[in-house]
Structure 1
Amino acid sequence: MGESTTRTAPRGAGTNKGPVGSRAGQRLSGLAVALGLVLFLGGFGWAALVYRPYTVPTGSMTPTIGVGDRVLAQRVDGSAVRRGDVVVFHDKTWVQNSAVVKRVVAVGGDTVSCCKQGKLTVNGKEIDEPYLKGGVAEITNFPTVKVPEGRLFLLGDERQGSLDSTAHLTDAASGTVPRSAVDARVDAVIWPMKGMLQRPTGFEVFGALSQPGPLRTMVLLIAVGAVLVLAGGAYGPIAKRMGGSRARTEPARAR
């Protein structure tokens, strides 16, 4: 007589899969969440160390920066500032206890004047300034200024009515400010979302321009971190739902 045998599944078989997915999947989702948090928080922490937010209260930098725009400025030493940079600085001879945002158009040793055919002149060269409204320096003519060493000559992008170096020409330093007064260099307008400032190519004739800070890298880290956190967190509910669907269909196949 034949003996009937009953096959039993090995102990532990099937335990690696269930309504919440495989153990490997759970581990990977946990790793994704952990890595995502590191990238997300690390990006924000890095940005907090390197950048400072400012709100620009006037229209002296329009159209580049409008009234009330929120900007991110990279903390830099004044010695790193170059022509064309938009900087944040403090100078008590200009404004008491308030940050000022202007564009550097000349540095120590330069000779600057305005205007020739509607263009600013630095060291005898006419400067193209596409960031100006209409690309023309609509400004009251000012006499030639020789910028002292270690100082900066600054103008607003809205040249008419801007309280910049031209409003302080009668000062002992001919409207210039020391490099040491610079706190930061503006990299981007974040509200409204105008993005990174364009490099002022008109000043390339005098050498290399300042390079943008690491803001794009920071944004990438934050974005990738957010995606990993969301993807890792969504794995469990998705696997549970898929497991439940399989459980409902398998008995029907056995009939």
Structure 2
Amino acid sequence: MSDSARRTTPDALQPIHASQTAVDLLVGMARSPTTLPGWRSILSAHAPTPGRIVLAALACATLYAALVSLPPMLLLADLRWLGNEVGERSLLELTQSVLLATIVFAFVWLGWRSPSDRRFAVLAAGLFACMLIRENDALLDGIGDGVWQGMVAGVASACLVHAMHDWRGTLCGMARLLVSRAGVGMLTGLVVVLVYSRLLGMGLLWQGLLDAQYMKLFKNAIEESAELLGYVLILAASMTYVGGRLVGQRRAKSVLVPNTKE
């Protein structure tokens, strides 16, 4: 395909590529951690050396280990030093809200900077905004009954209507995420939050295990820490995908600019 044909092909019809992985980003930083060319080298044609790949993978594993250590450490802080029962005003709950707000911002940023991803990005931001509102239902119930349900209905409706205005573009954006490595992490995190944490936090399960020693604290601690782990996975996937899309589009623009000048 000629350069002019590439420039005129709509983005939605371009081949779907997997987004940048965290390993790719770390390899680029290892090559040149303080300058912009170091980031551009991520997408260069020269394959990284085996040593750099191993070091980048180890760095990535260390980062993930730190992230998955966050829920039990916060749970320990809640129980040991703050003396609460992992209720609505706990470090676990506060961190969940912060992570969800960060995820929402990441997709809003993607939609603002990338027109081709805008429909799907708004839909994804709306989904996690609804989850953020649900996480703060106790606070919103203090304002009035049914406030959080109304907010969720409004946000969901607005985002769905926006996405359906260009449903093909929305599907293309969704497909780009699902075929990427970040998409696997995203789906894993959603399953942990919506299914695993709920099943693990069933009162019936813990009553059967602890019998007369059952306390709601056990149920809350396990359910909320598992839920936070899911949000950590979703955050890592979101940042990886959004960063990869924006870096890839910046590279594409830098390649096209010299050709247009010619």
If the TM-score is normalised by the length of the shorter chain, which range does it land in?
under 0.3
TM-score by length of 1: 0.27
* Greater share of residues in helix: 2
* Greater share of residues in strand: 1
Specify the structure having the higher radius of gyration (Cα). 1
TM-score by length of 2: 0.27
